[in-house]
Chains A and B, each alone.
Chain A
């Protein structure tokens, strides 16, 4: 590939994926992926079902290897440091994740959910918790809706609110990168729109990587888009270019809906 800087324009590289391969037992889910993710931008990963995009994103926070007979080869560099050479738990504190189906801790209140990463990973004071919860809920655009009921159970929130709660919880851990695995799939259009707008704000502070099967969403939300097919990276570039004039025939076929 050409020089990293010409590829990414002005932005420095936050995460650099090199020769990444991931396996489930004997079968290879992603093959020789090389991807440079720019800092404080939104990078989308699109592709048909089974192309490996979820697998790829789960390799970025080392969640893939916790699966049954799951294995990873290759490197993922975060600010130049290979995440596969350091403790996985520490990696996940720097690279947060939001899942497809909102999964707040059902036994905890809103406050306890958001403060969970602080309380379980350290010994924060009450003040530190309060500050972190306030900041995180504000960043997740949820504060106004729950400020009077932070001690209510997390399950009393609507689906869209729960997803924003999960985002707040991930942000409370103060990650450098936020991974989002189809975060709007389980939500209605209004909740989806709220989260898309939120992503636009989040990228001012965080590097965001989002997996989505909705191409229009990728077009609306991302600065760069990567197209995966059958475990391989087919094309990667600025979103506008990829959707207006894709370089690869396969990319064009996919995004114009001529297959998959």
Chain B
């Protein structure tokens, strides 16, 4: 028969071992992250100078010269393709989110908005390479000349960004209390004006966070660009031509036989990592600051 003290002891042992297991789990999750950061810092940071931001991609090392070069070309290319993608994803994503939240409810409209939400969820789960292939075929059908270009790359990235923007905007819109909408309705404002100028503005911090997170994701995507925007062109030639990008650059140069390009790859990895981290942190801080200002 177990005595009271036996049961108490068993409970103590159980609780302590749970704490230990949780600690181990935390370590298991954090370890790879820190390892990656460590590797990037070590391998990428050793030769990193400000030249990275001023020099373009160098030619491979030759017996004559071995430039270190920099990531400027890639930065330019990434910027353009992601900017384009944002231009597609943000208006559509926000509009879709507004439709899903504000016009949900009864009848056909409600069913449609629920279907829209579900579609976005499904889209966010589609592998990025599949999105890439889909865009590939689409563009091929439309104008095979621009299949490999910034344009098609941005379409694919846009499709990846869209559900992120839509989902976070939807969440943000839902946190706006119903009393705000009622107040605006009672003033005789039209529905769409309420959605745009009152509700969306109230939800702005959340929406902006979503956009920043989507950008962070898009900058890091390599798979669709592998298919649609793969190039070593030394500079931006136009929207109908491909351009170098940060994410793809890492893939291209990482196993290069040329030392300078290898270094470039690691430096790019570090820069990209830092960029994404900074973006995530900034968006979260800005969100907190704005929310507090408006709740006070």
Which A residues fall within an 8 A CB radius of B? Answer: 61, 63, 66, 68-69, 89-94, 96-97, 99, 101, 103-107, 116-117, 120-121, 153, 155-156, 166, 169-170, 173
What's the Cα separation between A96 and B177 when bound, in Å? 20
Q: Which 5 A-B pairs have the closest CB atoms?
A: A93-B188, A92-B188, A97-B186, A103-B179, A103-B183
Interface secondary structure of B, over-half rule: helix
Given contacts A69-B106, A99-B182, A153-B296, contact A106 B187 (CB under 8 A): no
Can you list 10 A-B pairs with a CB-CB distance of less than 8 A? Answer: A63-B185, A89-B189, A92-B185, A92-B187, A101-B179, A105-B184, A107-B202, A116-B187, A120-B193, A155-B294
User: Would A169 and B187 count as touching, CB distance under 8 A?
Assistant: yes
User: Would A90 and B185 count as touching, CB distance under 8 A?
Assistant: no
User: Would A120 and B187 count as touching, CB distance under 8 A?
Assistant: yes
User: Would A96 and B187 count as touching, CB distance under 8 A?
Assistant: yes
What's the Cα separation between A107 and B106 when bound, in Å? 30
User: Would A155 and B295 count as touching, CB distance under 8 A?
Assistant: yes
- Shortest C-beta distance, B124 to chain A (Å), equals 28
Shortest Cβ distance from B203 into A: residue: A107
Complex interface: chain B residues within 8 A of A99 (CB): 179, 182-183, 186
Per-residue interface assignment for chain B, residues 152 to 183, with 1 indicating a CB less than 8 Å from any chain A CB and 0 otherwise: 00000000000000000000000001011011
Complex interface: chain B residues within 8 A of A97 (CB): 186
Shortest Cβ distance from A92 into B: residue: B188
Complex interface: chain A residues within 8 A of B193 (CB): 120
Shortest Cβ distance from B194 into A: residue: A120
Complex interface: chain B residues within 8 A of A91 (CB): 188
* B293 on the A face (CB < 8 A): yes
User: Would A92 and B202 count as touching, CB distance under 8 A?
Assistant: no
Given contacts A69-B106, A103-B180, A105-B180, contact A155 B188 (CB under 8 A): no
Shortest Cβ distance from B291 into A: residue: A106
User: Would B296 and A93 count as touching, CB distance under 8 A?
Assistant: no
Complex interface: chain B residues within 8 A of A89 (CB): 188-190
What's the Cα separation between A235 and B180 when bound, in Å? 34
User: Would A166 and B183 count as touching, CB distance under 8 A?
Assistant: yes
User: Would B188 and A106 count as touching, CB distance under 8 A?
Assistant: no
What's the Cα separation between A234 and B83 when bound, in Å? 65
* B201 on the A face (CB < 8 A): yes
- Shortest C-beta distance, A176 to chain B (Å), equals 12
Shortest Cβ distance from B191 into A: residue: A89
* B8 on the A face (CB < 8 A): no
What's the Cα separation between A61 and B185 when bound, in Å? 10
Complex interface: chain B residues within 8 A of A169 (CB): 183, 187
What's the Cα separation between A92 and B197 when bound, in Å? 18
Q: Which of B106, B186, B193 has the most CB of A within 10 A?
A: B186
* B234 on the A face (CB < 8 A): no
* B198 on the A face (CB < 8 A): yes
What's the Cα separation between A105 and B293 when bound, in Å? 13
What's the Cα separation between A47 and B36 when bound, in Å? 67
Complex interface: chain B residues within 8 A of A101 (CB): 179
